[in-house]
Amino acid sequence: MTPTEALTTAIVPALSLLPGKMDTPQARVMLLSIGLQESHLTYRRQMPTGPARGLWQCEQGTRTSRGGIWGLYLFPTTADALVSLCAARNVSHDPVEIYSAIERDDILAAGCARLLLYTDPKPLPAVDDVQGSWALYLRVWKPGKPRPAEWGMNHYKAAEAV
């Protein structure tokens, strides 16, 4: 999927289901950058056999870890938006069901990715802030194999598409 296709088929529809303040150019760039970094906007299941799902490669997490989908479910500032997002996508408001659904529902996956970004207490970096966006990605996604050499180009492609 190209960045433009991801915007039109997943990101924009997802953002329309979330509170209006979550739809900004900065959010769109971050979502595209992370999608390119995590799955190349291609893989909906972590390769070769990892636990992450969806184009944004979210993990299920656990109630105890408060990470991944469980984190969105439990985090006070995302819980209500997650209820609405699930209702709009006809998915049960249950972390296990959401985790399962993001592998086949790109709009739900994009919405969850945006909510995950929203859990970070810092403001989203400017559209052209490659360093700040990298720092946000590292803080929130906590990638096991971050591949910093790819981030600049992915961020550039994302900003160009937006």
For residue 24, the model assigns a pLDDT of 98
**pLDDT of 24-73, one tens digit each?**
999 999 999 999 999 999 999 998 888 999 999 999 999 998 889 999 99
For residue 92, the model assigns a pLDDT of 98
Beta bridge partners of 58: 53
**pLDDT of 108-126, one tens digit each?**
999 999 999 999 999 999 9
132/20 Cα distance (integer angstroms) = 23
81/19 Cα distance (integer angstroms) = 7
Distances (CA, A) of 115 to 30, 145, 150: 12, 22, 24
For residue 47, the model assigns a pLDDT of 85
- 139 pLDDT band, cuts 50/70/90, is very high
